[in-house]
Amino acid sequence: MAKESKKDNYGADSIQVLEGLEPVRKRPGMYIGTTGPDGLHHLITEIFDNSRDEAMGGFADHIEVALLPNNRIRVVDNGRGIPVDIHKTTKVSALETIMTVLHAGGKFGGDESGYKVSGGLHGVGASVVNALSVYTQVWVHKEGDIYTQEYSQGKKKYAVKKVGKTKEAGTIVAFEPDIIIFKEVKFDFNRVVNSLRQQAYLVKGLRITVIDAREAKDLEVENETTYLSALNLQVPSQTFFFENGLTSLVKFNNQILKPVHKNIFYVEKKVEGVESVEIALQYADDISSRILAFANNIYNPEHGTHVTGFKTALTRTLNSYAKKNNLTKDGEDSFTGDDALEGLTVIISVKLREIQFEGQTKAKLGSVEAQSAVSTVFGEAFASFLEENPEDARAIIMKVILAMKARKAAKAAKDSVLRKGALEGMTLPGKLADCQSNDASESELFIVEGDSAGGTAKTGRDRRIQAILPLRGKILNIERARLDRMLGSEQIKNLVLAFGTAIGDTFDITKLRYHKIILATDADVDGAHIRTLILTLLYRYFKPLIEGGYVYIAQPPLYKVKRGKEIMYFYNEEEKNKKLGKEIADLQEIEEIKNEEVQTPEAEGEETESTTKKAKISIQRYKGLGEMNADELWETTMDPENRILRQVNIDDAQDADKVFDMLMGTDVPSRKMFIQSNAKKATIDI
């Protein structure tokens, strides 16, 4: 027991009771994960999911999501419309209950009027969005009438009221996120499009329209207008509708890859305890795998029990088929899970009545019954697919055998590298100028381009916490290279040894020697290429370093400007022009005049003060880190007090994977098309 203190005022009065939606505003991260861009876009997901649940139940076939002026979002469906009659428990309209009370919705009832399958089983989605928005309004088209209610920060402005007649049915929800909660409210149209495209694949027969109407002038969101797309606005928009569902999604993800087999495997089946198990897969000539997992149409980036069941059945079925058909030699090792996954694109979708996610953001499925259901359904169907399609089966097995051989070769190469490092006293590469600190949390590794920049960085660094590793030119493009070939590259071997985490199946992030890995390359085309090659390596083989927030890109200045005794650094052209544009223009004009005019005796010695100051401006354009002296590099790029670092993150791992496949793979036409489509976005320094 703790000793009682006379100064201890901890009593009943210290316990704070939050009412209504106050807990959401007090701790928004508990409900949406983060108040950054991910959490902001999650608001759209929460409202969309309610409309999508209507479509999954067969009550809607068209959903429209519109980005509006003033940071507003509008989601429309043609479902049944939220109930507006009085709720027997809350004694207010069901609409008001759903929008202002946590854990209220059509997800809990067991009768046919509710949802058999739903992503939002917590019943907090709409009310959470409402709580975190400075403005929310709902219009319900139901049984010939239009009803509405408006809210601010989760509190109603008036009771639900009838505002007109309608021939439509459905719900319209408009909201504006609260700048107090999110600090910056900036929606990414492409991110919204990519997320909703996925949903169109997952719900057969559902049409999804996404509209970017943020630049539309004088746009009035009238409650009678169910769909903005009906107004024929001249704004960016995309509509998705896929009849073949998951099979189409597999094709979409493999569009820039070469399939190993012709037929795409597909199964959909209902089993006891699970409403639906749906899986589509195809192997491609690639060394990476792409696993997209969904539970009740909610994307699970951290996978879960359904993926565990799939992996178990996949490895077991491939091993069984290979041995049964004598495709592997007697005594040869069995395939491992990693062998079976190499080059695989698979979509796993399960639908359950009672579902358990780990957290409100639903990143990982926890429902135990999903594991056995997926394992059973997929195992039986995939075994039949292999028997019925012998050519496809042989191609798949040969692909997996190749992966197994590569794994063994990679292990031998990796063991050789690590063993060599230990025996020859080369645990750390010779070119690495290590820091003095053994505390990884304060240690930094600067990966620089070339010995020239390396020498400058070594001189200018803080030796206690900053290590320098210079690279000689461009490293190997590992996008199509296996681990054994990678570790034959001296440059990559140096990086692996410097990180200290090992690589492949022995990777251990707890052994990371530096908690800041900083890429410091030149601000030119070659520097950008080297940076891309390193990021490709990190994404494919050290992804936890990116996910953990350990990877950064240094931002050295582009310009050094001297004005008298004052020295200024600018990191981009816009910043320089904004600060010095008028002075530089005036200086150029003054210099031209001085070159043309002839001084008179009266004018001699009468140069104005402003002319004198402007004449002392000098501008230096840095082409590379090697052009800076050690003091300049420290002051601008390495000093933790003054430098600018950009943290590397993976906002959308699927898109990142596809971009790396496209830019660093073998599909030249797709790469050419990507470059042509995005050429105008590039900043070219000639």
Q: Active-site residues: which are they?
A: 449, 522, 524, 526
**CA-to-CA distance for 634 and 556, rounded, in angstroms?**
10
Q: Across the strands, what pairs with 468? A: 433, 446
Phi, psi of 570 (to 5 degrees): -125, 140
Are 82 and 169 a contacting pair, CB within 8 Å? Answer: no
Are 678 and 605 a contacting pair, CB within 8 Å? Answer: no
Q: At what angle do helices 490-499 and 525-541 cross, to 10 degrees?
A: 60
Phi, psi of 395 (to 5 degrees): -65, -40
Q: Which residues contact 337 (CB under 8 A, 6 or more apart)?
A: 311, 314, 315
**CA-to-CA distance for 671 and 577, rounded, in angstroms?**
34
- Phi-psi group of 392: left, alpha or beta (phi > 0 → left; psi -120 to 50 → alpha; rest → beta): alpha
**DSSP labels, 610-624:** HHHHHHTEEEEE--S
Strands of 367-465 (E only): list them: 444-449
**CA-to-CA distance for 233 and 226, rounded, in angstroms?**
14
Which residue has tokens 């692909």? 399
**CA-to-CA distance for 585 and 579, rounded, in angstroms?**
12
Helices (H) and strands (E) in the chain, counts: 22, 22
Phi, psi of 157 (to 5 degrees): -95, -25
Sign of the torsion formed by the C-alpha atoms of 217, 222, 224 and 227: positive
Q: How far, CA to CA in Å, does 117 sit from each of 56, 57, 266, 353, 419?
A: 7, 7, 21, 5, 54
Q: How many other CB atoms are found less than 10 A from the CB of residue 379?
A: 18
Q: Which residues contact 151 (CB under 8 A, 6 or more apart)?
A: 99, 100, 130, 133, 135, 136, 137, 157
Alpha helices in 187-304 (DSSP H): 189-202, 246-253
Q: How many other CB atoms are found less than 10 A from the CB of residue 87?
A: 17
Which residue has tokens 């492949």? 504
Are 445 and 498 a contacting pair, CB within 8 Å? Answer: yes
| Angle, CA of 36, 39 and 45, to the nearest 5° | 150
**CA-to-CA distance for 243 and 6, rounded, in angstroms?**
72
Q: How far, CA to CA in Å, does 534 sit from each of 186, 452, 527?
A: 30, 19, 11
**DSSP labels, 68-83:** ETTTEEEEEE-SS---
**CA-to-CA distance for 662 and 666, rounded, in angstroms?**
8
Q: Which of 502, 483, 310, 515 is nearest to 409 (CA)?
A: 483
Are 540 and 478 a contacting pair, CB within 8 Å? Answer: yes
